[in-house]
Amino acid sequence: MLSIIAYQDEEDAVRIANDTDYGLTASVFSASNKTAHNAARQIRAGTVSVNCYGEGDVSTPFGGFGLSGFG
């Protein structure tokens, strides 16, 4: 499933992304790597991917934020 939500600017996009009790994983897509990495640093999620989704290896450590993850 994919959700697409309109936003006004980078600050609004980060606010929308963080407006949840959960935060297991997130992805940021942008033509600007600088913008994408800046947004990724602000998003509260266990794993944040930039310009991809689900990239990683089973040996990569992961966890959640908020009500996501273990415990």
Counting residues of the chain whose pLDDT is more than 70, the rounded percentage is 92
41-50 confidence digits (pLDDT tens):
999 998 899 9
Which residues, 6 or more positions from 18, have their beta carbon under 8 angstroms from its beta carbon? 42, 43, 44
Residue 55 confidence (pLDDT): 67
> How many other C-beta atoms are found inside a 10 Å radius of the C-beta of residue 58?
5
On whether the CB atoms of residues 27 and 48 are closer than 8 A, the answer is yes
What's the whole-model pTM score? 0.80
> How many other C-beta atoms are found inside a 10 Å radius of the C-beta of residue 1?
2
Q: What is the mean pLDDT of the chain?
A: 87
